[in-house]
Amino acid sequence: MTTEKVTVKTFLKMKQRGEKIAVLTAYDFFTAKILDEIGIDSILVGDSANMVFYGAKDTLSISMDQMVYHTQAVSKAAKRALVIGDMPFLSYQTSVSDAILNAGRFLKEGGAHGVKIEGGMEMKDTVKRLIEVGIPVMGHIGMTPQSIEKFGGYSVQGKDEKKAEYLLESAKILEDVGCFSIVLECIPRELAKKITSSLKIPTIGIGAGLDCDGQVLVVNDILGLYEEF
């Protein structure tokens, strides 16, 4: 474990060196402090807070104000780890200008180092513009929880050839427009492996097998504190 500050460039260097990237969620100061001290590479202030912190059935109803509040607490504790703010539902889908203003709040008010956005190639213009104004972006494709109503529940994505091609192409496009990493959630292991080997930026898996460049988990799940999912 290095004591150096983790940045988006660190992620790229870790992939180049073949080092696995460890990402966990946190929503409060003391959890973030512990994760930072034990050497977690990145802390995601996830919209999963809506479920594991507020007791909601999904991630959809959490607000920007709530997300910024939790990000402020986490960023105060994180001296080493890269802090990523999770853009909540309808904070970026409505327009590029809304996306810039809300993503900017994560950095300006919350103290985050970047944001995570769900969606594939259809989000390329938004992602590109955020990066142009200086906001690092982590992509997120596959099973995207903010689309739970469209999917009809939590399920593995990319099992058929057409959807697999869409995810692979989306990953390449998100890399091309400047994402520094991409979360792959609930997709077949072989597809995740193919995407990972096709990209120069790191992939962070959750339910996507062991071949991704890193893994992300909800800290409450690891600790056995959330049994509803």
Token pair for 193: 């492996």
> Given the structure tokens 């739970």, which residue do they identify?
148
The conformational region for residue 158 under phi > 0 = left, psi -120 to 50 = alpha, else beta, is left
End-to-end CA distance of the chain: 32
Q: Is 185 a catalytic residue?
A: yes
Catalytic pick among 4, 185, 227, 228: 185
CA neighbor of 196 nearest in space, from 151, 141, 156: 141
SS3 labels along the chain: CCCCCCCHHHHHHHHHHCCCEEEEECCCHHHHHHHHHHCCCEEEECCCHHHHCCCCCCCCCCCHHHHHHHHHHHHHHCCCCEEEEECCCCCCCCCHHHHHHHHHHHHHCCCCCEEEEEECHHHHHHHHHHHHCCCCEEEEEECCHHHHHHHCCCCCCCCCHHHHHHHHHHHHHHHHHCCCEEEEECCCHHHHHHHHHHCCCCEEEECCCCCCCEEEECHHHHCCCCCCC
- Residues marked as catalytic: 185
